[in-house]
A and B are shown apart, each in its own frame.
Chain A
């Protein structure tokens, strides 16, 4: 139900923009999170935006480098990632639900690899 895109291979210091799109429903009513998982590691919450875009939060590890936003006209939520580091290498999931901070709906993830 959620589909991520925009991942790829980027050198350290580079930028990527991830997108989370919804299939068959409106994302504008959903609170959306980005969660990442490095190879063989656990889940790492990194960012949240509520349906009204008036509550936005980041993990300390990405604060000042990543920016979450939503485009209701395109029915999508984006994660702009700047000044990427090797430790940002991971599978990035978008996940969320309506009216709650729990993660009911998940995408399959998009791979981000930061390497020279």
Chain B
């Protein structure tokens, strides 16, 4: 099975900073990669699909990109409401594995 890794496991940044989270697949998954945001006590929320397509209603400060088997979620201008754990997920073929998550805090 394809393994998904994320780095860093946690990041603390100031309001307005640019935050970058990386997700790597152990094999090629084309563009079948989604990003989710989960705030404490809430269900996850879809942010990005097809590696770089922004889900409707998601703020434009969130963006996704792909380079080979490496995927990046960027928050351009961190806001206090962005405090959450972020997960990538592959969905090219089963199992639809999630990455281990990256916790984002505000300094």
Contact = CB atoms under 8 A, between A and B. Distances in A.
Interface of A: 33, 35, 42-45, 48, 57-60, 93, 95, 100-104, 106-109
B97 to A, nearest CB: 6
Contacts of A57: 94-96
A106 B55 CA distance: 15
B84 interface: no
B21 to A, nearest CB: 14
B100 A101 contact: no
Given A42-B87, A43-B38, A45-B89, A102 B46 contact: yes
Contact count band on B = 20 to 34
B64 interface: no
Contact of A103 (B1, B36, B95, B97): B36
A45 to B, nearest CB: 5
Given A42-B87, A102-B34, A109-B43, A59 B55 contact: no
Contacts of A60: 1, 95
Contacts of B38: 43
Given A43-B98, A57-B95, A108-B43, 6 more contacts: A42-B100, A43-B44, A60-B1, A102-B49, A103-B36, A107-B43
B99 to A, nearest CB: 8
B95 A43 contact: no
Contact of B94 (A42, A44, A48): A48
Interface string B64-107: 00000000000000000000010101010011111111000000
